[in-house]
Amino acid sequence: METTTLLSNNVWMMLCTALVFFMHLGFSFLEIGLTRQKNTINILFKNVFIICVGLLLYCLAGFNLMYPGFAEGSSGFFAFAGFGLDSPRTATGALDLTYNEGYTYWTDFLFQGMFAATAATIVSGAVAERIKLGTFMIFTLIYVGLVYPIAGSWDWGGGWLEMRDTPFYDFAGSTLVHSVGGWAALVAVTLLGARIGKFNKDDGKPQVIQGHNIPLAAAGVLILWLGWFGFNGGSVLSADPELTSLVLVTTSLAAAAGGVSCFIISTIAYKNYDLTMFLNGILGGLVGITAGADQMSPTDAILIGVIAGGLIVAGVALVDRLKLDDPVGAIAVHLICGIWGTLAVGIFGNLAGMDQLVTQLIGIVSIGLFCVISAFVIIFTLKKTIGIRVSEEEEVEGLDLHEHGMDAYPDFRIDQH
């Protein structure tokens, strides 16, 4: 491979890695903006913990669990290439610069490592304001260290979903990243229970618990949109000008269509212009296009975004109807739209067809079952041993005070209940 091609591919992949890293700031801003002031430090602590521990776990074992190099004749369900990182080399001992079609092993590890932490970040927002910090950290260690890379290996690592006659297709992770986090979020909020005051004691109707900084939430979503250029753009795995450009176009169109669709439908349904719905519609469109961003036309991308926006409105209502409490809408955005985006690969674009749609459905169900069972075993075990929920006093007074002994805004305090 020409040195110039290697250089351009590697530089592009490193830039995309930086953009995906930047997404963790977006997640942090979104989560603290949509929750109450008294839990700000707790949420920031969790997000910083996730990225630090996620990278370490991915280095020690996750990368080689996710890309184990399944042996010929393998079932493709589980393999492990060993602990730690070891760059491939040529027969002379020099670094193999043709690794992964033109970018280095180290760049590949770092780019994929940024994805790994995202699954736990999705859960962080859904369980905000009432989960024990220690419990969440233990969950993160197991879920990011084991569950995420094993699920990823089934497709991206060349496993059994990739081995099918019609291979499962998930370009950048509608299922392998977003739904993996979304399924765990669903299990977690079910076992954890709703925040105090979320549902009326008399009639069970959901009550609005206003986030303390909506401008910060809006900034978080715009940062995430920018970061998605790296999330999807980097998943091209090269600096190919035409394909990379197409991916950025379909990504942006789906995001815009998701936002507009969601705000129009929610305005008709609830008779107000809800900015939080608009923001989550954008995210729903981004998650929806992620599985097939390289396969879609601009029109396909817009249609996927429009449907994703409608699913956000329906998904948020469904979560409330089931008496589940998801402060940031993570289940609607990452799980429901992740499922939709994965199915859309078999409906729209270059891969559309019944065989592909069936394979997509098989992938969704199998990975969903694996994640639900794994998350349930982890969280239920923690619930029965060390507990998963803070006390009523800690929840009312705020986790910042009780778990961190500090205030995010010591000179500006809003009384919140």
Query: If you compute the radius of gyration of the chain from its CA atoms, what whole number of angstroms results?
Result: 21
CB 158 within 8 A of CB 75: no
* pLDDT for the residue numbered 297: 98
How far is CA 284 from each of CA 276, 290, 325, 397, 411, rounded to the nearest angstrom?
A: 12, 10, 18, 33, 36
The backbone torsions φ and ψ at residue 389, rounded to the nearest 5 degrees and listed phi first, read -120, 140
CB atoms within 10 A of CB 417: 8
Strand partners, 97: none
- Per residue in 11-70, pLDDT (tens digit) is 999 999 999 999 999 999 999 999 999 999 999 999 999 999 999 999 999 999 999 989
Q: In the block, which residue shows the tokens 């995202």?
A: 118
Strand partners, 131: 389
* pLDDT for the residue numbered 414: 53
Mean pLDDT of the chain: 94
- Determine the Cα–Cα distance for residues 174 and 118; give it in Å rounded to an integer: 12
Here the tokens at position 399 are 């986790």
Q: What is this structure's pTM?
A: 0.94
Which whole number is the average pLDDT over 313-330? 97
Spatial CA neighbour of 41 closest among 120, 129, 149? 129
* pLDDT for the residue numbered 104: 86
The backbone torsions φ and ψ at residue 6, rounded to the nearest 5 degrees and listed phi first, read -60, -45
* pLDDT for the residue numbered 92: 66
Strand partners, 89: 95
Which whole number is the average pLDDT over 66-87? 90
Is pLDDT at 417 greater than 50 in this prediction?
A: no
- Determine the Cα–Cα distance for residues 143 and 138; give it in Å rounded to an integer: 9
Here the tokens at position 331 are 């289940």
Spatial CA neighbour of 159 closest among 78, 80, 63, 99? 78
Here the tokens at position 250 are 């379909």
Alpha helix positions (H), 271-326? 275-290, 298-321
Q: Which of 71-80, 150-159, 256-265 is predicted with the least confidence, judged by mean pLDDT?
A: 71-80
Domain 3-73+100-404 in CATH 1.10.3430.10? The answer is: yes
- Per residue in 259-287, pLDDT (tens digit) is 999 999 999 999 999 999 999 999 999 99
- Per residue in 86-135, pLDDT (tens digit) is 877 666 666 665 666 668 889 999 999 999 988 889 999 999 999 999 99
Parse the chain into domains and list their residue ranges. 3-73+100-404
* pLDDT for the residue numbered 71: 86
Q: What is the DSSP string of 340-351?
A: HHHHHTTTSSTT
Spatial CA neighbour of 208 closest among 216, 199, 217? 199
How far is CA 119 from each of CA 98, 101, 123, rounded to the nearest angstrom?
A: 30, 27, 7
CB 201 within 8 A of CB 215: no
- 3: confidence class by pLDDT, cuts 50, 70, 90: low
- Determine the Cα–Cα distance for residues 156 and 235; give it in Å rounded to an integer: 11
* pLDDT for the residue numbered 315: 98
CB 69 within 8 A of CB 81: yes
Is pLDDT at 1 greater than 60 in this prediction?
A: no
Which whole number is the average pLDDT over 276-302? 98
CB 294 within 8 A of CB 245: no
Cα within 13 Å of Cα(138), Cβ side: 16
